[in-house]
Structure 1
Amino acid sequence: MGKRARRKGIEPDDSVRELAGLGPAAAGKAEPAVTDPADDTVALEPDGRLREVSLLVEEVDYVYQLYRWIILTGSVPKAQEWLKKEPWPHPDYVIDVFGSWEKFLAHAHVTTSPLLARLRAADAAEKDVAAGRKQVEKELARVEDLRRQVQTARLAREAAEAARGDERSRADRLQRALDAAETRAAAAEARLHERTAALDAAAAAGPDTAADERAAALADELDAVRAHREELLRQAEELREQAVQDAKTINRLSTVLAEQGDAGASAEGADASGGPDAGADPPATVAEAVERAAASAQALRFTDDAFTSAADSPYRRPAEILETLRTLDELAVLHADPDGFGRSLTQAATERGLTYKHDVSETARSRHPHEYSTTVDGHRVDLGPHVALGSGSGAGFIARIYLHVADGSGDVPRGMYVGHVGRHLPDTTT
């Protein structure tokens, strides 16, 4: 109807003309009717009300199409959408009638429609529900991951406890062997003393080659027994150190297991309340562990050599490095007090479960002076105090953290400085 109808060559019907107040004679040609030239009657002019009625009909038609679109699609159309869809009026025709697309929508009272407002609110609520569902699914996946981590930590703790039991049994066996060796050594020494006394007496009476040979054999046996005892003592000491490391590992795993259990419980509570998780993943490398420790440190300071050595370290348990550095930061806070804190750093570190050595040997320092030094604020300082990590052999299983502990009397301020993290520095055994 309207412009769209006229452009297709369709004329308004008689009813429209009657609405405009025209008689049947106006339904013919578009040109004005003329009388006989001989007649003095003036020619009829087109009535302007026909154009007005046509515009009104076009407005009604376009508004009807607008409401129809809203009912079918549930949304307010844009001009481009009617441009692409053939059954709908061309947007240019609508703009010709109403002046603009916005005036067209305002004329139909679409912008203030409470029905569309409720529809938009329903769409927003549906999006919120979908987002909440995704968040719940994400939290459930995270809780499941935490449960797997807890299970892994529990299995690791059980394996460590089993290994500790095996090491304890082995230590008991070695202790029994050591006691037996000491008994044999004491008996051999007693026999040697007896033989020596007998030989002294025989020597006074005259030479005896057979007795000398027996004495030499007994001395050799005694030396062998002593060497065996020394070996057993060394093995027993190693087993004791290994047992201490295993105990620390089990305690650490128990702590991690408890923390992850609490995190899992917190995550389940967060699922119910929709709260976010504040936890962080463990570091993947020693370098990442050092960076995270340096970022959160209160008093512990890190040199450039600490980051360089950490980047070169292949140690397989970077989370242990991060935990140890945070413990050292606690010690650095205590050490920052010039009046002291009631005990030595070695004692405080041992109480916190660290294998802390207050210095390295002078032989190692004299043989490798460059290795056991670092730079702090442009000043060269020595490294000595260190923490031992891991057990076994190889840089992937053992690590060291070397420190410089300044009392404030030298070139650098009082504090604890990390100079090396990672590989074991060379000493008298390497």
Structure 2
Amino acid sequence: MPSPRDDDERSGYGTRRGWRAPKGAGGQGRRRHRAPAPRPPLPADGATDAPDPAGSAARIARLAALGNDDAAALDAEGLPAPGAPDVLPAGLRALGALVRQARETADAADDRADQTAERRTRDASRAQRRIERAEEREARQAAKAAHEQGERQRLSGELERAHARLTQVAAERDRLRELAEGEGRQESGHDDAQVAGLLARVADLESQLVDRAVALEELTDAREAAEAEREHLRGAARRLRRLALEAGSADVDLVDPDDHGPLAVDDLPYVRTVLQAVELAAAHAEHLVYTDRAFSSARTAPYDEPRKLLRDLVALDRVAAAWAVEGGVGRPIRDVALAQQLDWADDVSATARNQNAREYRFTHQGRPLWAGPHVRVATGRGLQRTCRIYLALVKGGEPDLAGLPRGVYVGPVGRHLSDSTSG
């Protein structure tokens, strides 16, 4: 009869029914945990599977230093396996096909580049022709406006002379009428023939008065028509100037320096960003001084109506012209700004400036300036609806600004600087 030990030796250790290997020990009941093998990465959308590294396409790609796309295209040709008799001719044919395809692609790219360059050249030529036509039309309009201005001045002078003559004739008629009366006849000693002559003269003068009144009315109508024509010509000149600037002309004034009428937004060229408005206004400014802070702040300003900003910058240049007069203009600069339809603020609060010194301080030629007077271009909800132009008025005699000439200096443009209203 076999012993229990023989049974253990025959069946092996740990094979008895009901026996379970201790946790963590060896044995048949142990579950072996192996790290899963890494899965190959899935190809990206649109990516081409790489050729077999041991295949003919991969070897030729390595020898020819081809990129992944060209290697995949070469593999798509179905080259024979390495060592096959026809692998070399097939590889050369496939390389030739790749070269032809690359040459065709390059030729197509060159053709597109040539077409783009030709199209741009045509666009530039058309823009130049538009500029030339606009300049010719503006010259004709300017000549016509000058003629109309001279005609208006002539009519004004003639109208004034007609008024004076009318007054003179009326006075002469009244004097003669008094002489023709009985009381005047006795005092002057005139006989009936003289009185009859005086009465005839009065009738003639009254007829002249009627003629003069008609002529005066005609001259008034002609002068009003000349003024209306002049305003029409000025409007046409503004539109032509705007078209020329939008077409890229660099020799056209942003506004007519002799046109002192109120500026309109629609008369100015279209600008897409705050920075474009500042750069265009600065290029045509005659009196305003633009600091580096004006451009850096405009570069990140989110205001979405830059054309309105351009209008206020042009109007500010006229305000700067008044400020540049030594000794002042005889009235507050605020009145000059209001006359240019600017929403002017004389200063900011000292608290806001002290608490936010880094925002309100800017420099020009190494001299420190502080933003104070400003123009409220727009006040709305959100950064895209709010815009400010902060300025520094330099009188020219400040000790800490020695060497900085008198003028209006443009500081931050765009965002509303921090104060009690901005939270």
TM bin, normalised by shorter chain, reads: 0.3 to 0.5
What's the TM-score, normalizing by structure 2? Answer: 0.37
TM-score with structure 1 setting the length: 0.37
